[in-house]
A and B are shown apart, each in its own frame.
Chain A
Amino acid sequence: MKKLIVLLFAMALLASLVYGITLTADATRSVHVPAAALGRICFVASDTGDCTDKVGEILFGNAVVESMGGDRIGMILIQFGGNIYRSTTTGPVYLYRVTMTDGSVLEKTDLPESGLESYEPIRMVGLRGRLSQVLPDGTEVITTGETRTLSHPGKISVDEDVPVGEYDIRYSGLVLEDTETSRQVMTAGEYEDIQITINAPGGVMDKYKLVEIVSTTSFDWSPSTPK
């Protein structure tokens, strides 16, 4: 029992070290932005899935934040429609080779809910996760204040808070420093696509998708450096 307690304590300590990076200017040594893109985004019609005539500017980028303690963690920042969003969770998106029970072989990023015989990952093609909204006073809104139930046949249904936003970014040549942890430090990749869902109270799920990328860049920044 003592060994178990020690093991759990060690795991908790390790987790706090991995995820305990403070995102403030004082606690940050440097920021590397391997890719940032300026482009145009459109509001998607819920019935057709096509772009409506509502089109606007978007800026999004991957940032690698290095703390004073030397820890590095990846973060995605997005600005569009007058709002700023940052990633609160990030997970890799894989392209899978899927073999169905009828013998057909497909390449998909989302596994089918039925008729699946086996699957194997081919390569990592993107990142997706949740977004928080950074309000003009600096506070963040993490969830809409609602909950939703996610369930798939054969799996236990799970209640979860509805995030303010969700993103799905696709890259070519995406490389992460370490896929074993949730640090998601991007070391290479070029943007191909981004899709964003903005959730709001009342079950609102507004979808936006990329129209075009106008320009991309990369840079380093130290918070202590005068602008």
Chain B
Amino acid sequence: MNTKIFAVIAIISLLVLAGCAKVEKQPVPVVKQTEPSKVILPDLSKGVSTVDASTYKDPQGSFIAQLMNQMVEKTKAK
């Protein structure tokens, strides 16, 4: 039993040492492309408005669209 505990502690210690060896000063995030993305950048000429939630086929996306529409209607009504 003591041997197993010792082995576990030794492995953890090695992992911690390996992690410490990776430390390097790199204040600016390094970005590399791995796959294409569908990101659509904001267009500030477009104002806040309700959306046609029926086009949001994904159930979670549809829920978010409906909630967003509620927020638009309530804040614009004030």
Contacts and interface: CB of A to CB of B under 8 A. Distances in A.
Contacts of B20: 156
A208 B42 contact: yes
Interface stretch (A99-107, A168-176, A215-223): A215-223
Nearest to A61: B71
B71 A145 contact: no
B50 to A, nearest CB: 10
Sort chain A's interface into a size bin. Answer: 35 or more
Given A23-B63, A59-B72, A136 B56 contact: yes
Contacts of A186: none
Interface in B41-78: 41-48, 51, 55-78
Interface stretch (A6-14, A29-37, A117-125): A29-37
Given A59-B71, A83-B42, A151 B23 contact: yes
Given A146-B34, A217-B74, A157 B64 contact: no
A199 B32 CA distance: 13
A77 B29 contact: no
Contacts of B71: 33, 36, 59, 61, 63, 77, 79
Contacts of B66: 25, 223
A198 interface: yes
A219 B59 CA distance: 23
A80 B47 CA distance: 7
Contact of A138 (B25, B46, B58): B58
Interface of B: 19-20, 22-27, 29-48, 51, 55-78
Given A146-B31, A151-B24, A217-B77, 11 more contacts: A23-B63, A25-B63, A59-B48, A133-B39, A141-B37, A148-B30, A149-B29, A151-B23, A202-B31, A202-B33, A217-B75
